[in-house]
Structure 1
């Protein structure tokens, strides 16, 4: 009986020694495998990264204007096409009115040119031409007489030169009066009309620009999502191009993670993974490997891996830290 008890005790001691030896070997394996950080039921959490949204947008204004209406805040849900910001449009409306006045003035000028000369203008030009011709005839006769008198030695040369100058001037006046009358009878030249038409087009372009600027008074969300940041309040001046809001589509949440290149043979596209998020304790998420970068970071020898969540969870937010576990079973 004593011998049996002795043998039983020896067997128990040997069994315990064997068990303690396996535990130590397991610890040694974990310490020597540089790619393993945590072991949990054959899930190796060897990849880490940050939660991000594939679709996000920074809302800006195209013009400098004050905020007239801004009712959404961080955490607000918006839909694609929603009006999310209204700008003060008083200055814009004044610019449109001014541009419209410019168009009206340019068009009136063009119409006047195309309509031709009024009858009274032609009458005045005709009378001016008759007067110029009469003066020309008088100066011509006077100049001829002075030539004869000068040749006879009855007048000095200076008097002859004066009559010649008057004759030349009268002749020039006749030509100018005739040209003015011809222009009135013929109407404006094609070049003059073309210039007036170009002025109308320029004014219309200015009006179109002002109208487009006025349309920018309302800012529309280009995506559906959640407002994650707000940098301005109602009544404040929005500068063109400055960030006003950030909107994130949480339906496009994913993880950009990095894996050591030595571990790449254990990762493949569509591989199922388990995800732990440090900010969400006590919960695991499921996902799949969607993309494996074809290049290796030359600095740290890591490879970018993109992870997609199987389910969309409102608890997930961009910027959260995540660990990705891969089954080794």
Structure 2
């Protein structure tokens, strides 16, 4: 009986030592999680997303009331049209003055011909030149005024167009859209509720690309490098473990105190370095699941 007891104790000790060498680091599985928050304030008209739903990036699943924004946009559109209607037609505004100048120039050529033949006087030509200068000055002044008015109207119109663009941006932000492809982990609001800017509406995670956040001690850093292929073992409990191929995608640049839930090969280690190991999810891996890694 004594021999049997010693044998059992020895076997348990060997088994414990064997398990202690089966992994180099441990951690839990995580995924890229995004909390989708409201970008506009108002009543939620509809919100067609439930926990567990698979969403594609850019898919609209809800909307916040935009009636007031739409009415403001219509009002600004009318204002912009009204401002544009006051834009002067410069060509028509100065047509009469240009015609007078053209007539004076024709008269000047006629007097020049008469002057060469001695049938006109120099004073007549000087009078025509003086009148041409008056007309040209009036034309320049009128053109300057019309151009200034046109520029002012264009600026007012551009300002209104910018306000319309701002409203259109707010209209777009009134849609509830998933920014990534993933699974709805949590839903924090329902249709009919009031949303405020920044209020969380749902949480989405990309469970197709999951990673294990493990922790290594300083003496293990020499064996770890970016891009390294490793074996990740997911622990599903009840002695059910499944191995996955993983790739190290990130190594922390600074150490941190060992999290209480993490075991290391050196139990005396107080400081550890976090590493991320990307693993392709076959549908069985879940966030928070315990895992081990062998370098």
Q: Give distance in 2, aligned partners of 1:298 and 1:60.
A: 31
Matches within 5 A, 1:191-210: 191-210=148-167
Q: 1:101 to 1:325 in 2, by over 3 A?
A: closer
Map of 2:37 onto structure 1: 60
Under a length normalisation based on structure 2, what TM-score does the superposition of the two structures give?
0.66
1:63 to partner: Cα distance: 2.1
1:306 corresponds to which residue?
276
State the Cα distance separating 1:294 from its structure 2 match: 6.3
Task: Name the larger-Rg structure.
Answer: 1
Match status 1:272 vs 2:228: no
Structure 1 regions of 5+ residues with no counterpart?
Answer: 1-12, 31-37, 120-181
For the pair 1:317 / 2:286, whether they are aligned, the reply is yes
Separation of aligned partners in 2, 1:326 and 1:45 = 5
Larger relative strand fraction: 2
Partners of 1:212 and 1:113 in 2: CA distance: 35
Offset, 1:193: 2.4
CA pair 76-114 structure 1, distance change in 2 beyond 3 A: farther
1:97 maps to 74
Aligned to 2:27: 49
Q: Offset at 1:96?
A: 0.8
Instruction: Go from structure 1 to structure 2 and tell me whether the alpha carbon gap of 1:68 and 1:40 turns closer, same or farther (over 3 Å shift).
Output: farther
Residue pair 1:289, 1:305 contacting (<8 A) in 2 also: no
Match of 1:258 in 2: 215
Change in Cα spacing, 1:221 to 1:84, as seen in structure 2 (3 Å) is: same
CA contact (8 A) 1:85 1:219 kept: yes
TM-score, length basis structure 1 = 0.60
Number of residue pairs aligned between Structure 1 and Structure 2: 241
Alignment match, 1:186: 142
CA RMSD of aligned residues (A): 3.9
Q: CA offset at residue 295 of structure 1?
A: 4.0
